[in-house]
Amino acid sequence: MPGSGFRGNPRQLWNAFRWSMKGLQAGWRHEASFRLEAMLAVVLVPLGLWLGHGPLEKIALVLPAVLVLSAELLNSAIEAVVDKVSPDFHELAGRAKDMGSAAVFLLLLLTVLCWGLILGPRWF
């Protein structure tokens, strides 16, 4: 379809970058969980790059921390939309928020699992 999709226009690319930075700023400014997980990632990402033996281990140590941040931003976006659409309590609204939180929790467990499986045998 003509005129649809990304065609590599530098202005579109720049705008997409700016909107992404605004999203990161909003996450940092308004979400305590995101700030905590970002601080954890600031430690885990360089540590994972240093401790991982080879590219696959490095990816397995770094990727879960980045996925946690991504999921936290999506969870926060879901919560913001739910709060905007339905400020009163509704079972479906609560379920949506709980499921977003569960997604972040599962990725946190994945982070612990990856770090434990890769580095645990070296340390114990």
Q: What is the 3-state secondary structure (H, E, C) of the chain?
A: CCCCCCCCCHHHHHHHHHHHHHHHHHHHHHCHHHHHHHHHHHHHHHHHHHHCCHHHHHHHHHHHHHHHHHHHHHHHHHHHHHHHHCCCCCHHHHHHHHHHHHHHHHHHHHHHHHHHHHHHHHHC
Binding-site positions for ATP read 31, 79, 97-98
Of the candidates 37, 57, 72, 91, the residue annotated as catalytic is: 72
* Residue 110 CA from chain centroid, whole number: 13
Known catalytic membership, residue 57 = no
Binding-site positions read 31, 72, 79, 97-98, 101
Binding-site positions for substrate read 72, 101
Binding-site positions for a divalent metal cation read 31, 79
List active site positions: 72
